[in-house]
Structure 1
């Protein structure tokens, strides 16, 4: 699938020029982070919960005990998962024209709760998205830990993507004569130097895959 299906929920209505139906753009937005916001209705109350995720192929994996509660009440309960990256402030000559540069994806659907035998693969994807190489380095979950973990999978078939880039666009209007600075201020997320646990035994060195996060 090279293009995303357009549904009533994913149709771009505002700022259509920022919308994308390219599956590659959805994959790129999801690959660039590991924290999403899960929108779900629990006991009749809407909730938006931050949680970690991992994406691969056509599936999004995420921790979701809150969503699991909702699914117990209504197995067909729909939810929405949102991933957003803020890439910069767009500062125009007037406050009205201010905006942000961003990449955002919204995924809709009914998730499925993974059984223990499926959780390992989902947890591997999630772990590798957060810290590539850590799955093979650290101890993997045992049966008791798997039983205590709620992991859900959501198909990526229904998704909406928007991407906003570039400078302010008021340079040809009357505000251009105000003599004020205008432009964009890029924002990026970086990993700082790893800090060892205070009880780390002497002689245990930083593994290469964690050191590499600073240059990723």
Structure 2
């Protein structure tokens, strides 16, 4: 990782992560981390037996380490623990961009591509911390509201870490960019915002009577 003169950390630009449209490219750590922290699902890509595979995974970030987890029998985790190179993508969609021509329709979005090498987490404390982070990434504070993880559950779970070796964020915002002559046309153009909202919690049918909604879940529902 390199640093700018103002000490802001940036990721190196390589053939793997260079973004063609320079004005939408961001290689600084702050932008990359912000998108990762807001996202919920990472599309994890790797190659198995010469074939490309992409699977959606819940994840968490601790510093420059990303963590994913799952059952030991999962095909993805069986492959990744061998130390395979991987690419992870997280995308946040902020709006439809509707142009005066179909050609100039687009989306406002924030996305990040991560390249790194998958590694099996064998240290028990790191594994525990990663599972806490993954749970709290979905609902901050949720881990402490649940029963303790059993040894059997821990042994049945594989945790994979990916060090962020290179990263690039791509961000598109603003109105459509139409051909100059089209601005005088009678076709509507603009933005349709897209937001992610949490609904009101629904009790499990077998929930014991009198159990209130957990604080972490209340906090999600109250997000604006």
1:86 aligned partner = 93
Deviation at 1:128, TM superposition (A): 0.7
- 1:17 to 1:66, Cα distance in 2 relative to 1, 3 A: farther
Matches within 5 A, 1:1-216: 2-12=9-19, 14-63=20-69, 65-71=74-80, 75-115=82-122, 117=124, 118-170=126-178, 173-216=180-223
- 1:40 to 1:18, Cα distance in 2 relative to 1, 3 A: same
Q: Give the whole-Å Cα distance in 1 for the aligned partners of 2:216 and 2:84.
A: 39
- RMSD across aligned positions (CA): 1.6
Q: Per-residue CA shift, 1:167-216, capped at 9, x if unaligned?
A: 1122x611112111110111011100000100011111112221110222
Q: Give the whole-Å Cα distance in 2 for the aligned partners of 1:77 and 1:179.
A: 53
Q: Give the whole-Å Cα distance in 1 for the aligned partners of 2:129 and 2:75.
A: 21
> Does the 8 Å CA contact 1:116/1:146 hold for their aligned counterparts?
no
Q: With structure 1 as the length reference, what TM-score do the two structures score?
A: 0.92
Where do 5+ consecutive residues of structure 2 fail to align? 4-8
Structure with the bigger percentage of strand = 2
Q: Per-residue CA shift, 1:146-170, capped at 9, x if unaligned?
A: 1111211111231111011111122
Where do 5+ consecutive residues of structure 1 fail to align? none
Q: Give the whole-Å Cα distance in 1 for the aligned partners of 2:148 and 2:14.
A: 39
Q: With structure 2 as the length reference, what TM-score do the two structures score?
A: 0.89
Q: Give the whole-Å Cα distance in 2 for the aligned partners of 1:147 and 1:140.
A: 14
